[in-house]
């Protein structure tokens, strides 16, 4: 079989325009690395695609040789689903082109593009659509799982701006899917993950937001956490959808506007972003200072691209990561108590708990309008376990799991698949809620043999 495989690799190399990378090749180890250093899998073959036809050829090769298949956009998925052991990796990391039609307010994006690539292409025209808060995140994984960020209160989820996709099905057929063409497939990919095929291009509708936002941080000591969180809850949902303040609880990084005595101590950070002018931003953000006595503040007009990169230093590749997530329709006192308790026993200076306010436009979309169903949520919480060495695995994973369990009684149900780790298969049905049965039927239609199973898997 090895001889046959070797011969067939020569044939595959002739068929694809991109690279075919094997374990013995110099670039193999670098190419297979992904964002989460906890994931260390070794594909038998990596096909680094140059175009959609390469994906077709790679898929065909995997099926002919009975190889497991995984697909990588930017490799940022927390569960590491973009890597398989001893299988074939379809790698889109060099397909990063973003083409903007400013007149039509459209963007056409290849699956290897990061959010930073998207912002760099769209922002010269002052255009954007809702994406995440870390510029190295991949647009493909973010979108297929739903996607949310600073613009979601105003414009909905990432999938709510998706106009169409070009896809390769499990049978190797190239399809275009939109509300008018293969509409059932288009419904499924908006939140259904990579279960239904390989997306080779995304088309998005863009919104004019300008190139600057009023944004920054207000930092409070952990001793004031209870009053700060209560005042935040009373304040945030009364603000307009253009305004966001997210809560981050962690050890203070060495930010230049914080006194050195605060560095490394537990803090409550209010991360604010307003899509409007400085005067209105200052007026809307002013009440935040009265949540307590800040130990530091840095707010003002900044380039949107810069704000989108503001948290990158806390999310660099090469660290070990384990996340848990809950959705909330409202924030209860018991949740705050749990947050304060577990912030008091952070197992690593890189661990954090964040709450993002969403709602707004997201809540106006019916639960069955897209595969992503948790349209009632107004807040999403990520328990972000993050550390440096393997020796810390047990204490950091335990901390994440224990806090997730302690905060569960206050959650509204549902789940965000992009924040789910690989062992959370029991939550997949909960994640899709009322849409799961329809998704399972569409999986049976488009991928009856579960070729695409390296994901938060929906069984056909």
SS (H, E, C) 162-190: EEEEEEECCCCCEEEEECCCCHHHHHHHC
pLDDT recorded at residue 392: 95
pLDDT band at 315 (very low <50, low <70, confident <90, very high): confident
CATH architecture label of 212-419: 3-Layer(aba) Sandwich (3.40)
Predicted confidence at residue 4, as pLDDT, reads 57
Mean pLDDT of 275-303: 97
Q: What is the CATH number of domain 2-91?
A: 3.30.43.10
Banded model confidence at residue 6, pLDDT cuts 50, 70, 90: low
Instruction: Give the model's pLDDT for residue 107.
Output: 98
Please check the confidence at residue 359 and state whether its pLDDT lies above 60.
yes
Beta-sheet pairing, 266-274 with 212-221: antiparallel
pLDDT at 3: 42
pLDDT of 38 > 80? The answer is: yes
- How much is the average pLDDT of 64-84? 89
Give the whole-angstrom CA distance, residue 267 versus residue 248.
Answer: 8
Domain 98-209 top-level CATH class:
alpha beta
Q: Which residue did the predictor score with more confidence, 212 or 412? A: 212
pTM of the model: 0.94
- Taking only the tens place, the pLDDT of each residue in 206-227 is 999 999 999 999 999 999 999 9
98/106 Cα distance (integer angstroms): 10
Q: Where are the domains of the chain?
A: 2-91, 98-209, 212-419
* pLDDT given at position 424: 67
Pairing relation of β-strands 243-251 and 352-357?
antiparallel
Tell how strand 243-251 and strand 266-274 pair up.
Answer: antiparallel
Give the pLDDT mean for 17-37: 93
Q: Name the more confident of 456 and 267.
A: 267
CA-CA distance, 280 to 263, in Å (whole number)?
31
């Amino acid at each position: 079989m090895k001889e046959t495989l070797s011969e067939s690799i020569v044939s595959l190399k002739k068929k694809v325009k991109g690279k075919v990378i094997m374990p013995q090749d110099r670039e193999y180890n670098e190419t297979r690395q992904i964002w989460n250093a906890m994931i260390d899998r070794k594909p038998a073959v990596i096909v680094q695609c140059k175009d959609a036809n390469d994906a077709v050829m790679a898929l065909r090769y995997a099926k002919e040789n009975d190889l497991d298949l995984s697909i990588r956009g930017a490799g940022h998925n927390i569960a590491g689903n973009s890597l398989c052991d001893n299988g074939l990796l379809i790698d889109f990391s060099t397909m990063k082109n973003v083409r903007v039609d400013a007149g039509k307010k459209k963007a056409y994006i290849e699956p290897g593009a990061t959010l930073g690539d998207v912002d760099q292409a769209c922002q010269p025209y002052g255009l954007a659509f809702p994406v995440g808060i870390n510029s190295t995140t991949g647009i493909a994984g973010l979108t297929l799982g739903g996607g949310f960020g600073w613009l979601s209160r105003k414009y909905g989820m990432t999938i709510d701006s998706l106009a169409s996709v070009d896809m390769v099905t499990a049978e190797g057929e190239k399809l275009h899917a939109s509300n008018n063409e293969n509409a059932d497939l288009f419904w499924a990919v908006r939140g259904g993950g990579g279960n239904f095929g390989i997306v080779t291009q995304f088309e998005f509708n863009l919104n004019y937001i300008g190139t600057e936002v009023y944004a920054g941080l207000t930092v409070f000591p952990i001793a004031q956490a209870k009053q700060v969180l209560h005042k935040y809850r009373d304040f945030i949902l009364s603000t307009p959808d253009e305004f966001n303040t997210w809560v981050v609880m962690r050890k203070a990084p060495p930010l230049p506007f914080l006194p050195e005595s605060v560095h490394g101590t537990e803090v409550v950070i209010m991360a604010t972003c307003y899509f409007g002018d400085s005067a209105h931003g200052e007026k809307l953000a002013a009440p935040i200072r009265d949540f307590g006595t800040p130990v530091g503040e840095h707010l003002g007009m900044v380039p949107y691209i810069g704000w989108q990169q503001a948290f990158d230093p806390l999310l660099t590749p090469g660290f070990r990561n384990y996340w848990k997530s809950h959705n909330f329709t409202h924030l209860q006192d018991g949740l705050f108590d749990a947050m304060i308790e577990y912030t008091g026993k952070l197992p690593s200076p890189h661990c954090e708990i964040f709450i993002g306010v969403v709602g707004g436009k997201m809540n106006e979309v019916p639960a069955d309008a897209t595969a992503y169903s948790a349209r009632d949520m107004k807040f999403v919480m990520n328990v972000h376990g993050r550390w440096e060495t393997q020796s810390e695995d047990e204490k950091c994973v335990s901390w994440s799991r224990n806090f997730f369990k302690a905060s569960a009684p206050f959650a509204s149900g549902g789940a965000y698949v992009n924040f789910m780790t690989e062992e959370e298969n029991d939550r997949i049905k909960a994640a899709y809620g009322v849409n799961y049965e329809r998704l399972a039927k569409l999986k049976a239609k488009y991928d009856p043999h579960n070729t695409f199973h390296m994901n938060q898997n929906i069984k056909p």
